[in-house]
Structure 1
Amino acid sequence: MAEKSNSVIEDIKAKYDKLFSAEKRAADYILANPGECIMMNISELAQKSGTSEATVVRMCKHVGYQGYYQMRLLMSHDLGKNRVSYDENEMLNSARRLFDFSAARIAALGETIDIEMLIKAARLLRMSRMVYVIAAGNTSPIAMDLGFRLERCGIPCSYSMIPEHFLNHISLGTSDDTIIAISRSGASKQVVQAMELARKNNMHSIVISGERKTQLTEYTDCVLQIVDKQKKIRVGIEPDSHLCEMAISDAILYVVRYFDAFMKSAQDNKKADNYSDDVELLLSEYKL
């Protein structure tokens, strides 16, 4: 496995001269288009670089990784480190900087929320008889919006801004249902109460929260954690923004809508990663 101190790009450059010509074509494409490659599955990269899936896998193994899927995840993490960030004492004094600041907050989520977790959440939602989306206080509009858009995707939902309403609805839930609880602190009283009620009814659960170890996240099926590294500005005020919650909602909805394509991509990547075992790697040394 590649040394953790190196980036994927550095590893490819370090091992480049030892790669075979076909493998170099795949490596060249990655080096020239790293941002594009982290959005590609192995089939797409093979097509773009004029190689085969097996060649891509062999290249990844020669560079020092278990396969393309692992290398792509680590490369995504590497690129995330280089995104725009601002010091907390820096004034955002132009429209461009204000929007870059917001974009950096959303981009940072990619370092902490794995696509597998989003796929798991989407699978729970698609298999549910009813989905209950809950939040309290000024986070309630996020729950309302998510519930409405899930219904547009064909998933039955229950959502209300009144705690007495969503608690009453959840009391009728069953083990075929799922609850989505949204709370930045993970300690909103009405949300915690709703989660406790859902557990008694053996419901599945998805939590969107800024805290991983709270009463809300205990025993849940899926935690989508908000790590907001860009939350302070020069005047010392944390913007009362739910931009990250909205971004996670959008990501869930996207995976729900294109779930079959995500599953096929995951299966293709797994199949290709397992294709080249040690014998195949040994034989590849003698292939023209």
Structure 2
Amino acid sequence: MTYSVKETFSPSVRAPSGAPGTPGAPVTTPDPGALAAKVRTVAPSMTRSMQRVADAVAGDPAGCARLTVTALAVRTGTSEATVVRTARLLGYPGYRDLRLALAALAAQQATGAAPAVTADIAVDDPLADVVTKLAMEEQHTLADTAAQLDMTQLEAAVAALAAARRIDVYGVGASSLVGQDLAQKLLRIGLIAHAHADPHLAVTNAVQLRPGDVALAITHSGSTHDVVDPLRAAFDVGATTVAITGRADGTVTQYADVVLTTATSRESELRPAAMSSRTGQLLVVDCLFIGVAQRTYEAAAPALSASYEALAHRHTPRAGRA
């Protein structure tokens, strides 16, 4: 029996997911402990006024839980409508439900059951505080990415990669580094994989793919043209396409048979979004690699051993050198 990812995950048959608060959309109220993670995930898609509301409720859940919708609007310099829209975007039917979640979150934090939201790094922060804040943010990103990974989509991506004749990986900037990491991992277990950072070469290679090959795009924003274009070209020629992105509604998903989402966090002055997005991307890459290595273990194990042996002599001092 031939496994076909495209038949199952083609965008033409994938049902669109409704946003919270829209007619017909399923309402799933987040657990209070997941509120801070939800704020980090949806913040990039918020307006500036909505971000002020989200920052307030995530930064001071106990204080905001005591405020009426009018009082919170005044505190954040926004409007009551903005507060309600923010609550709905965070996954709550209305502000009353958000207040209940804030009260529960405050209680959890008081007992140490839920961590406080990590503050942005300030210019005058001591280096020790920088280390603590970065470590906490990295932990959040990893935990959030793991929690939201769709196992069905991950399994489909692993199956496609394991059976692929050839694998092309596309990414630019920080995502290019992640793509190179995935490609070299796959090469070491005997798969034919290449990472393309040059957008022209990426498209040139993409049109040479065929059904059974895999094209994998990595783009945090989901809309980087230099990554979307080669994936679209690969999709058009029938290759199985995979996207790793921080935006499930990004343009890249229109051409992806399989979509793997990573957690997002808002960019700050001293911490570009690329730093946290790369952390989530690397976790997904490691999950893909381990899944493929498990599925192809009989061939992967000796290939990995051979690569270790080939590189071993490069760590040994040559004769005649100190």
- TM-score calculated relative to the size of structure 2: 0.51
Contact 1:226 1:245 in 2 (8 A): yes
- Deviation of 1:165 after TM superposition, in Å, equals 1.7
Equivalent AA in structure 1 for residue 214 of structure 2: T
Q: Distance in 2 between matches of 1:214 and 1:94?
A: 32
Is 1:184 paired with 2:184? no
Mark the CA change 1:123 to 1:101 in structure 2 (over 3 Å): closer, same or farther: same
Say which SS state the counterpart of residue 217 (structure 1) adopts: helix
Structure 2: which 5+ runs fail to align? 1-27, 32-112, 298-322
- Deviation of 1:105 after TM superposition, in Å, equals 1.1
Q: Among residues 270, 279, 285, which one is paired with 1:243 in the alignment?
A: 279
Q: Among residues 163, 167, 170, which one is paired with 2:206 in the alignment?
A: 170
Corresponding residue of 2:241 = 205
Equivalent AA in structure 2 for residue 202 of structure 1: G
Give the paired residue count.
182
- Deviation of 1:187 after TM superposition, in Å, equals 1.0
Equivalent AA in structure 2 for residue 192 of structure 1: V
Q: Among residues 181, 190, 196, which one is paired with 1:160 in the alignment?
A: 196
Corresponding residue of 1:60 = none
- Deviation of 1:149 after TM superposition, in Å, equals 0.7
Q: Distance in 1 between matches of 2:30 and 2:284?
A: 30
Q: Distance in 2 between matches of 1:95 and 1:183?
A: 27
Contact 1:84 1:104 in 2 (8 A): no
Equivalent AA in structure 1 for residue 257 of structure 2: D
Corresponding residue of 1:114 = 150
Contact 1:119 1:259 in 2 (8 A): no
Contact 1:85 1:104 in 2 (8 A): no
Say which SS state the counterpart of residue 181 (structure 1) adopts: strand
Say which SS state the counterpart of residue 120 (structure 1) adopts: helix
Larger RCO (CA under 8 A, 6+ residues apart): 1
Q: Deviations over 1:231-269 (max 9, x none)?
A: 456x675443111111111111111122379xxxxxxxx
Mark the CA change 1:85 to 1:250 in structure 2 (over 3 Å): closer, same or farther: farther
Q: Among residues 164, 179, 185, which one is paired with 1:143 in the alignment?
A: 179
Q: Distance in 1 between matches of 2:192 and 2:296?
A: 19
Worse-matched range after superposition: 89-98 or 194-203: 89-98
**Identical positions, percent:** 18
Equivalent AA in structure 2 for residue 167 of structure 1: V
Q: What is the correspondence of 1:1-288 to structure 2 with a 5 Å cutoff?
A: 84-89=115-120, 93=129, 95-228=131-264, 230-231=265-266, 237-241=271-275, 242-259=278-295
Q: Distance in 2 between matches of 1:94 and 1:88?
A: 10
Q: Distance in 2 between matches of 1:186 and 1:116?
A: 20
- Deviation of 1:111 after TM superposition, in Å, equals 1.9
Q: Please provide the CA RMSD for this pair.
A: 2.8
- Deviation of 1:97 after TM superposition, in Å, equals 4.3
Structure 1: which 5+ runs fail to align? 8-81, 262-288
